[in-house]
Amino acid sequence: MTYVAPNSIQARDIASIVHPQTNLAQHMTQGPTVIERGQGCFIYDDSGTEFLDAAAGLWCASLGYASERLARVAYEQMRKLGYYHLYRGTTNEPGVDLAEKLLSIAPVPMSKVLLQCSGSEANDTALKLVWYYHHAIGKPNKRKIIGRQMGYHGSTTASISASGKFDMHADFGLPLAGFFHTEYPHYYRNHLEGESEEQYATRLADAFEQLILREGPDTVAAFIGEPVMGAGGGLTPPRTYWEKMQAIIRKYDMLFIADEVICGFGRTGNMWGSQTYDLQPDMISSAKALSAGMQPISATLINQRVFEAMLDESRKLGNFAHGFTYAGHPVTTAVAMETLRIYEEMDMIGHVQRVGPYLQKAIGALADHPLVGEVRGVGLLTGIEMVANKETREQFDPARKVGATVDKHARANGLIARFVGDRIAFSPPLIITEAEVDQIAARLTKALDATWAEIRSN
């Protein structure tokens, strides 16, 4: 049990806040870590301890943790128009500026933008629009949604149903009916002896098609997927995977939602993950780096086919009966727009293309470590798979909590990464420098060595 001083922030937190993704019972005795401030890629707790954040918070703090420039934009916007909504045909200039900008940089022709406050809401909106679209075109039975095991699309009722994070369904009575999950595209872990990446991708596309046939193509409405899986462990797809999956999506006349919440705005070395993997989505969900994580905003981009169906519904029903109070909030859109300007001025894509390979090489060098089975990534996103046996790819017994042990040692060495079971994902702020990448690798090496020593001593 950790000592928690009376009236400390820790004590007040325990008495007042329910934390996401936290063991609440443990939290009552251990209390929180208090993060006090941030600068560049570093955050500092209330005792002044520094952490190099190789996770960019939750994949979002693309410009690091403090920005005078974005603060000024938020301040000026709050003085001019600190709130208004988009309901009943009202608008404001920052919202229009941002929507135009997003349409101009979209990876495939897109027609319109819907604004929300989070990635979950962006995906929830996209899922509702899938149903609305099929209704409008006279196929109301086409309602089933297919996501992937270990895919993550958010915590709202529909977006978590589309997600294949089964720990997040447990005891909530989820997923909702009509949501299905096809294979986790993890080549290293799941390929058969002698099976190439291409053959593995074919096997996964076949499994996807079998699921559609089993459920009935006339009832299957859409597929949702992240170009690179984030909460699935920073997992890049096997070669030819997307090409084969998209052929099946088209064959059964499904809509394709690309969840670009993590990949959008440079993470994979292009503006969009859809460009890195040649995706042709009907809808795109974006958030996180859209505002460098500094304002809660998300955008759902939809193509003309979807918008035409929505127009038909308005002609029929007299209204698009959907909306959020804070959709198109002028402060969030102004900050997002400025964020996109900063990316352009800094040539952020060029920066990721230069530093990304450096990160892949630095973390990739750890492939020889006795705990590491595979290192694989793209741009400024990479994942490490830790294994009990490098020859057989056998995983550790989850009860050994190897990931949690590395996490403990990483934090003790001032490093934050994202742990998903025994996978470690890295997605540092996009502004990270080569010198900071060296620090990630050095601190990680210490954490892996300490874990390896602990495992051997047990």
380 binds ligand PLP (CB under 6 A): no
Q: Which of 120, 246, 405, 439 binds ligand PLP (CB under 6 A)?
A: 120
Stretch that binds ligand PLP, among 45-53, 104-112, 170-178, 225-233 (CB under 6 A): 225-233
- Cα gap 155→20, rounded to integer Å: 10
Q: Which is nearer to ligand PLP, 63 or 425 (by Cβ)?
A: 425
226 binds ligand PLP (CB under 6 A): yes
Min separation Cβ 58 and ligand PLP, Å: 5
| Contact call for residues 290 and 271 (beta carbons, < 8 A) | no
Helix (H) or strand (E) holding 377: strand 372-378
Q: Which is nearer to ligand PLP, 124 or 209 (by Cβ)?
A: 124
Task: Identify the residue whose tokens are 């990739």.
Answer: 364
254-273: which residues touch ligand PLP (CB under 6 A)?
A: 259, 261-262
- Cα gap 146→210, rounded to integer Å: 12
Site string for ligand PLP, 42-71 (x = CB under 6 A): ----------------xx------------
Helix, strand or coil for residue 214? helix
- Number of chain residues interacting with ligand PLP (CB under 6 A): 16
Helix, strand or coil for residue 208? helix
- Cα gap 162→71, rounded to integer Å: 35
440 binds ligand PLP (CB under 6 A): no
Rg (CA), the chain: 22
Q: Is the alpha carbon torsion for 230, 57, 380, 338 positive or negative?
A: positive
Q: Which is nearer to ligand PLP, 152 or 426 (by Cβ)?
A: 152
Helix, strand or coil for residue 166? helix
Q: Which of 231, 248, 348, 381 binds ligand PLP (CB under 6 A)?
A: 231
Q: Which of 119, 185, 264, 266 binds ligand PLP (CB under 6 A)?
A: 119
Min separation Cβ 261 and ligand PLP, Å: 3
Q: Is the alpha carbon torsion for 85, 89, 94, 95 positive or negative?
A: positive
Min separation Cβ 145 and ligand PLP, Å: 14
Query: What is 261-298 written as a DSSP string?
Result: TTTTTTTTSSS-HHHHTT---SEEEE-GGGGTTSS--E
- Cα gap 32→415, rounded to integer Å: 17
Helix, strand or coil for residue 213? helix
153-182: which residues touch ligand PLP (CB under 6 A)?
A: 153-154
Q: Which is nearer to ligand PLP, 231 or 283 (by Cβ)?
A: 231
338 binds ligand PLP (CB under 6 A): no
Site string for ligand PLP, 181-210 (x = CB under 6 A): ------------------------------
Q: Which is nearer to ligand PLP, 237 or 364 (by Cβ)?
A: 237
303 binds ligand PLP (CB under 6 A): no
118 binds ligand PLP (CB under 6 A): yes
123 binds ligand PLP (CB under 6 A): yes
Q: Which is nearer to ligand PLP, 56 or 249 (by Cβ)?
A: 56
E strands in 48-184: 50-53, 112-116, 144-148, 179-182
Min separation Cβ 159 and ligand PLP, Å: 7
- Cα gap 113→124, rounded to integer Å: 14
Min separation Cβ 116 and ligand PLP, Å: 9
274 binds ligand PLP (CB under 6 A): no
Q: Is residue 434 exposed (0-12), middle (13-18) or buried (19+ Cβ within 10 Å)?
A: exposed
- Cα gap 407→427, rounded to integer Å: 15
Beta bridge partners of 424: 384, 419
Q: Which two tokens stand for residue 297?
A: 């905003």
Residue nearest ligand PLP, CB atom distance: 119
225 binds ligand PLP (CB under 6 A): no
* Contacting positions for ligand PLP (CB under 6 A): 58-59, 118-120, 123, 152-154, 226, 230-231, 259, 261-262, 287
